[in-house]
Amino acid sequence: MGKMIDLKAGDGHALKAYLAEPAERPRGAVVVVQEIFGVNSHIRSVADGYAADGYLAIAPAMFDRAQRGYESGYTQAEIQAGIALMQKIAWDAAMMDASAAVEAVTRAGKVGMVGYCWGGAVTWLAAARIPGLAAAVPYYGGAIPSLNGERPECPTMLHFGETDASIPLNQARAVAKSHPDVTTHFYAAGHGFNCDQRASYNAKAAKLARERTVEFFRKHVG
């Protein structure tokens, strides 16, 4: 359904991105920010899903700064490898790459962003730091509690799992309390509940979160 394209960040860094076009004229655009597993088959399928909903969807290869073309599965060894790559990407660099993706799809109209795991934290930062985003939807971003001082500048919706071992529930609730203007949803699920390739997948939570996200994008993006 989609294809790989080339992007250029503000500092000249070249990166790839997966672009999925909707069948009809786009109602807007959605940037999909990867987990620590790269732009793998799951992230491409998420982008395809938003294209099916009528959006021009783009998933930038945010790990290209550390290792080009990286994608993996979900074994413990691959999780460790992904964490090692994640630690090589500075937030400022991630913002430049995310901005390049936003710029690449502005032709479709307003631009929303959704991110998962590490990408959820990137999306949280983008809501505060990237001008012109129409909406942001971070899913279970592990670093969000440590970035609680950031102030989203666009409508933002957070999704957290109540049994997420990597984000203590009291910390997630503290984020929600600090940001009463942000819509926050909690699910009886663990980390990574949206990913149907992981043992932590929770079909009920994933479906509800996605319905809420699409409704949010319909309202703020188009």
Tokens 């999925």 belong to: 20
Q: Which of 117, 154, 159, 220 is catalytic?
A: 117
| Angle at alpha carbon of residue 91, lines to 90 and 97, rounded to 5° | 95
Asked whether the beta carbons of 125 and 107 are under 8 A apart, the reply is: no
Give residue 102's Cα distance to chain centre: 12
How far, in Å, CA of 209 to CA of 26, rounded? 22
Q: Which of 97, 159, 164, 195 is catalytic?
A: 164
* DSSP output for 166-183: TS-HHHHHHHHHH-TTSE
The DSSP 8-state label assigned to residue 141 in this structure reads -
Is 220 a residue of the active site? no
φ/ψ of 208, rounded to 5, equals -65, -45
Give residue 159's Cα distance to chain centre: 11
Is 191 a residue of the active site? yes
Is 64 a residue of the active site? no
Instruction: Catalogue the active-site residues.
Output: 117, 164, 191
